[in-house]
Structure 1
């Protein structure tokens, strides 16, 4: 028996199997509908291709997947951290700080209107500094407030009040489209985001009821 021939055949079979496995993971990646499973499959695909290409001394393919591997790991971690932070907010203080990495800065001057009542809503804002007021109600929003998130869930996406800058400040903005993209990429994020917004809505309703009760008490006295 030609041992070298058998070894060569076994090596060829192993090589072919490696190629099939790598190809199978590529196909599996295209079937993924959400981001976290896609990234996991992508990481496995990168590892398989690195091993397969190394065995064939195909260094350009090795280099390609050595670049893609840390990118997939980073994006997977980013999404897992996002979901974890949203879960924490739902069970904690209802903060939306987790959304900051996806927001862009906007510097505002006194008298500048960020949006008008009845205007179509396309984004939400996080107040970093300065003073901002909801014109119709006269409510001044403190630093750390999120405003505009309910417009995303309203049937007509219409603003219910006007937001004006009273004192020079900085806000972070994120479009509803970006939030929707995060939802599509990871439905679990969408579920917890809806829970968070609902909790904030009930919290605001509770505050309004308390204010109405306080005003009624003053009127009665």
Structure 2
């Protein structure tokens, strides 16, 4: 292969890298194809800049390639997590103990009252609590108080009282946001719980309407 032919091949690789880069920025609406195109573009730019000794471009692409590869891995891992979390599986919220503030509460005491400002959700590690006015009790291993983070109300819609000596871990909004970001499994478990409770509340409201 003569020098001119090799140069033309490298030039084609450079143009291919540019096309892939533009496509990844403008044409793709789904994140997985976007990341794949970005990775392919980086590979082509690395070859192009390495042969032509374009060191600044090479340095940029050597940073972008592993970054996009890791983001692609994160997306695929999250999709697999969503696929494998069936409706029958029990969500695990115990990771909240590593992020929340531990509170020990006596039987009969109120954790929060209806009308209180919304500032936390709770993981129930031990004991049992009752959501007054709804005939609902929450057992150990569950969360409660999370619904207020997903509606426009700034106050609690019900009072929660301990039916027995109870240990909870309290997560404020900042801790909740951090945990959702750092543990996608926890975030999915919360969303499944919220969805189930919304469906149950809608069903109860429908049953309560006069026929």
Pick the TM interval, shorter chain. Answer: 0.5 to 0.7
Deviation per CA, 1:179-201, whole angstroms, max 9, x where unpaired?
Answer: 9xx9xxxxxx99xx977754455
* Deviation of 1:48 (Å): 1.7
Deviation per CA, 1:17-76, whole angstroms, max 9, x where unpaired?
Answer: 222111112212222334333322222222222222222233443343333322222222
Name the structure 1 match of 2:138.
Answer: 141
Indicate the RMSD between aligned Cα atoms, in angstroms: 4.6
Q: 1:108 to 1:194 in 2, by over 3 A?
A: closer
| Separation (CA, whole Å) in 2 of partners of 1:71 and 1:114 | 44
Name the structure 2 match of 1:174.
Answer: 176
Q: Specify which of 66, 72, 76 is matched with residue 72 of structure 2.
A: 76
Which residues of structure 2 form unaligned runs of 5+? 205-211
* Deviation of 1:16 (Å): 2.2
- Pairing 1:10–2:2 present: no
Q: 1:110 to 1:122 in 2, by over 3 A?
A: closer
| Separation (CA, whole Å) in 2 of partners of 1:105 and 1:12 | 56
* Deviation of 1:170 (Å): 2.6
Q: 1:121 to 1:27 in 2, by over 3 A?
A: farther
SS in 2 for 1:170: strand
Q: Specify which of 24, 27, 38 is matched with residue 19 of structure 2.
A: 24
Q: 1:96 to 1:14 in 2, by over 3 A?
A: farther
* Deviation of 1:107 (Å): 0.6
Aligned pairs, number: 189
* Deviation of 1:82 (Å): 1.6
Name the structure 1 match of 2:208.
Answer: none
Q: Is the 8 A contact 1:127 1:142 kept in 2?
A: no
Which residues of structure 1 form unaligned runs of 5+? 183-188, 209-221
Q: 1:204 to 1:25 in 2, by over 3 A?
A: same
| Separation (CA, whole Å) in 2 of partners of 1:33 and 1:121 | 36
| Separation (CA, whole Å) in 1 of partners of 2:158 and 2:145 | 9
| Separation (CA, whole Å) in 1 of partners of 2:33 and 2:145 | 31
